[in-house]
Chains A and B, each alone.
Chain A
Amino acid sequence: MTEDKFEEFLKKTAQSYNAPPARVPRDEMWAAIQAKRSVGPRVVYGGGATYVVGQRRFGTKVWLGAAAAAMLLVATGVGIGRWSASPSTPNVASSNLPVPGVVVPNPDAGTPGSVTPAATVPQSGGGTSRGSVDRTFSTKAPAVASNNTQQRRPELPNTNLSATGPSSAYQLTAVQHLSEAEALLTSFRTRSSADQQMDAQLGAWARQLLSNTRLLLDSPVANDPQRRPLLEDLELVLVQIVQLSPGSTPQDRELIEKTLQQDHVMTRLRTAIPAGAQRGS
């Protein structure tokens, strides 16, 4: 076959190559263009697929990997903490609790020196199981408090978490989680307002962190009177980010920004992280 014939054959046969549909979806595409342009002034190349040009600092795999690692870390930490707090390891979560029969009620009971650490004082009924000790705590601690003139928080021991194994695990987990949350919120605040792909990635990340936040809220970490409100506020913000849909309006994002600012979430997070790191180290 001559070259001309081959070219003729090519042109003819190649007409079927990726043949576009007869009807061009003009109206649908125009509507999509208008919707995307209304989101913001920045341009998203490729309409929200994985080919956003020049705006993404990290790929999807990086975000998902980070989220998975964070979730694994938190789950491991919470698991270790719960396992360590099981009956096989006594005197763990009670280092600062007033032990019935050990602490003599006195007017200065609220001061640190007034509570004798349980580990240094032989307990009555030392042969009993850890479970029974815990039950004794839970039922008798209020009675001890009632003997004192000062109010006492039953779960106060968790404010000092650095001395014992499980507390350190919880502590480390909490600090890592708060660090992740800070990274997420920083990414959220610095992202492009029109970057819907980024919103989707942040949403997936926030979903992971939301699960971990709720786990932590159910753990002894949340007994800290400062940390619990922080986790609760963080939970609220994460829920808002998770609920951000690709077509969400700038007002939705402003609402999150307002929550962040009014509750000083970022400031409290940053304050909590170094303090937690010091205790955990």
Chain B
Amino acid sequence: MHMVAYESSSSVNDIQLITRVVAGDAAAERELYETYVDRIYRLTFRLAGDDELARDFTQATFIRAFEKIGSFRGESSLSTWLHSIGLSVTLNGLRKTKRQRNREAPIEEGITVGSTRVEAEPDLKERLARAIDSLADKYRTVFVMHDVEGYTHEEISGTLNIPVGTSKSHLFQARSKLRVMLADFAPEWVS
């Protein structure tokens, strides 16, 4: 509810800002960048887990946005549109570089031995990170956006161009898989 109010109040400013950017106003470009760069960078960093990649993805997001902003129709908020570009760039980049941490292999073992408690268990946070890494992109993205970065399902829906119900379903699936993967920490979670 709060986010809806935020978007509607910012849309007027967005339109003005976009108009100035399209007109070639360098200061407006910088203003647009300063307004959204933090959220874009945080999200790309969460997904990439690497500063260099996050910077690259963020830069590519804004370069593409400035190039395409003339075709922005205003059908969604500027924030949603920018996040759409950011996620597209980030997920495509991660898929192509295959540099998503080397923690994927060990998680396979974690899944298979989920029912047995490991005595010398590594740090829980590290284990959770591995589990999140092992999620499919569509689940991991929704989980990170909602549970980690605090995006609403409406925002996720607009950004990923999926129905709100699908966003909720993906989040449910993500949590369920994590619960199974982390079962050896607390077997009572699996019921």
Please state if A18 and B45 are interface contacts (CB–CB under 8 Å): yes
**B interface, size bucket:** 35 or more
Please state if B55 and A14 are interface contacts (CB–CB under 8 Å): no
Partner of B178, one of A10, A15, A19, A21: A10
Instruction: Return A215 CB to nearest CB of chain B, in Å.
Output: 36
Q: Is B92 an interface residue (CB 8 A)?
A: yes
Q: Is A48 an interface residue (CB 8 A)?
A: yes
User: Known: A18-B49, A33-B33, A51-B93. Contact between A24 and B38, CB under 8 A?
Assistant: yes
Please state if B147 and A50 are interface contacts (CB–CB under 8 Å): no
Q: A39-54: contact bitstring with B at CB < 8 Å (1 yes, 0 no)?
A: 0010111111111010
User: In the complex, A24 Cα to B37 Cα: how many Å?
Assistant: 8
Please state if B125 and A16 are interface contacts (CB–CB under 8 Å): yes
Q: Is A36 an interface residue (CB 8 A)?
A: yes
**Chain B residues near A45 (CB, 8 Å)?**
60, 64, 89, 92-93
Q: B43-59: contact bitstring with A at CB < 8 Å (1 yes, 0 no)?
A: 00111110101111111
Q: Is A277 an interface residue (CB 8 A)?
A: no
Q: Would you call the interface of chain B mostly helix, strand, loop, or mixed?
A: helix
Partner of B60, one of A7, A13, A43: A43
Instruction: Return A193 CB to nearest CB of chain B, in Å.
Output: 14
- Which residues of chain A from 50 to 90 have a CB within 8 Å of any chain B CB? 50-51, 53
Partner of A46, one of B37, B57, B147: B57
**Chain A residues near B66 (CB, 8 Å)?**
37
User: In the complex, A44 Cα to B61 Cα: how many Å?
Assistant: 10
Q: Is B42 an interface residue (CB 8 A)?
A: yes
Please state if A6 and B175 are interface contacts (CB–CB under 8 Å): yes
Instruction: Return A119 CB to nearest CB of chain B, in Å.
Output: 59
Please state if A36 and B59 are interface contacts (CB–CB under 8 Å): yes
User: In the complex, A204 Cα to B93 Cα: how many Å?
Assistant: 23
User: In the complex, A25 Cα to B41 Cα: how many Å?
Assistant: 9
Q: A150-189: contact bitstring with B at CB < 8 Å (1 yes, 0 no)?
A: 0000000000000000000000000000000000000000
Instruction: Return B126 CB to nearest CB of chain A, in Å.
Output: 9
Partner of B46, one of A6, A17, A24, A49: A17
**Chain B residues near A143 (CB, 8 Å)?**
none
Q: B11-53: contact bitstring with A at CB < 8 Å (1 yes, 0 no)?
A: 0000000000000000000100110011001100111110101
Please state if B46 and A46 are interface contacts (CB–CB under 8 Å): no
**Chain A residues near B58 (CB, 8 Å)?**
29
**Chain A residues near B92 (CB, 8 Å)?**
45-46, 51, 53
Partner of B56, one of A20, A24, A47: A47
Instruction: Return A4 CB to nearest CB of chain B, in Å.
Output: 11
**Quick one: closest A residue to B123, CB to CB?**
A16
**Chain B residues near A36 (CB, 8 Å)?**
59, 63
**Chain B residues near A19 (CB, 8 Å)?**
46
**Quick one: closest B residue to A194, CB to CB?**
B63
- Which residues of chain B from 157 to 183 have a CB within 8 Å of any chain A CB? 175, 178-179
**Chain A residues near B33 (CB, 8 Å)?**
26, 30, 33
Q: Is A255 an interface residue (CB 8 A)?
A: no
**Quick one: closest B residue to A18, CB to CB?**
B49
Instruction: Return A194 CB to nearest CB of chain B, in Å.
Output: 10
Q: A20-B41, A24-B41 are in contact. List 5 more A-B contacts (CB 8 A).
A: A6-B179, A13-B128, A17-B128, A33-B63, A43-B63
Binding site for B on A (CB under 8 A): 1, 6-7, 10-11, 13-21, 24-26, 28-30, 32-33, 36-37, 41, 43-51, 53
A-B residue pairs, 4 tightest by C-beta:
A47-B56, A20-B45, A51-B93, A51-B96
Interchain residue pairs with CB less than 8 A apart (5): A13-B128, A28-B55, A41-B67, A43-B64, A50-B97
